[in-house]
Amino acid sequence: MEHQVTEAEISRAKSLHSLLLFDFIVVHVFLFVLALSLLKTSLLPITVMPIISIALLGSVIFKASRALKLEDSVFVLSHNLLAAKRARLFLLLFIVTGTLTTAFVLGGPVVGMSKITSWAMAVGIGQLPFMVALLVLVVMEFDAEHQCKDGKIPADAAKLHAALKRD
């Protein structure tokens, strides 16, 4: 669905998609690889990564909720609602898989699992589904940002806006 939008509207609509992509790619891919490479020497990167991610996701959710009250452009509001929905989904996924991973890594040896078994369970049950979902969300966010640049509202965003108008 195309709309006549200004460059300012495109910029406002694109900002939350850009924040999400930064979180997904920089924090969860590059910082995660860095944290894994430094795992034997320091726990700081693996500890800082969730803090940065939760702060960025919280910022997206907060800005989108603020846009509900202040934004008058349907185009910007639809894109902001879509970004907030994906940020909430990712935050939930991050908390659930992070909790599973932590439970297996720290709790596995406590309940009698070998270290290698607990790490295998942590990666297989905690991190693998997370990374697959992360890849899907990166592709979806790139698509949403591209549609934003073209002045289009994705179908999911239009549905979110229509549901908001009904409420």
Split at pLDDT 50, 70, 90, the class of 133 is very high
Q: Is 152 helix (H, G, I), strand (E, B) or coil?
A: strand
Q: What band does 92 get if pLDDT is binned at 50, 70 and 90?
A: very high
DSSP H helical segments within the chain, as ranges?
A: 7-21, 32-37, 44-70, 74-107, 115-121, 128-149, 155-166
- Asked if 49 contacts 114 with a C-beta cutoff of 8 angstroms, the reply is no
- In sequence order, the 6+-apart residues with CB closer than 8 A to the CB of 149 are 10, 14
Backbone phi and psi for residue 109, each to the nearest 5 degrees, phi listed first: -65, -30
What is the distance between the alpha carbons of residues 41 and 98, in angstroms, rounded to a whole number? Answer: 21
Longest dimension (CA), the chain: 62
59-82 burial, b at 16+ Cβ within 10 Å, e below that, comes to ebbebbeebeeebebbbbbbbbbb
Kindly tell me if the per-residue pLDDT of 2 is higher than 80: no
- Mean pLDDT across 53-71: 93
pLDDT surpassing 80 at residue 102: yes
The mean pLDDT value of the chain amounts to: 88
CA 143 to each of CA 23, 48, 136, 146, 149: distance values in angstroms, whole numbers, following the listed order: 16, 29, 11, 5, 10
Least trusted range by pLDDT, from 13-17, 32-36, 54-58, 95-99: 32-36
pLDDT at 53 over 90: yes
Is 33 a residue whose pLDDT tops 90? no
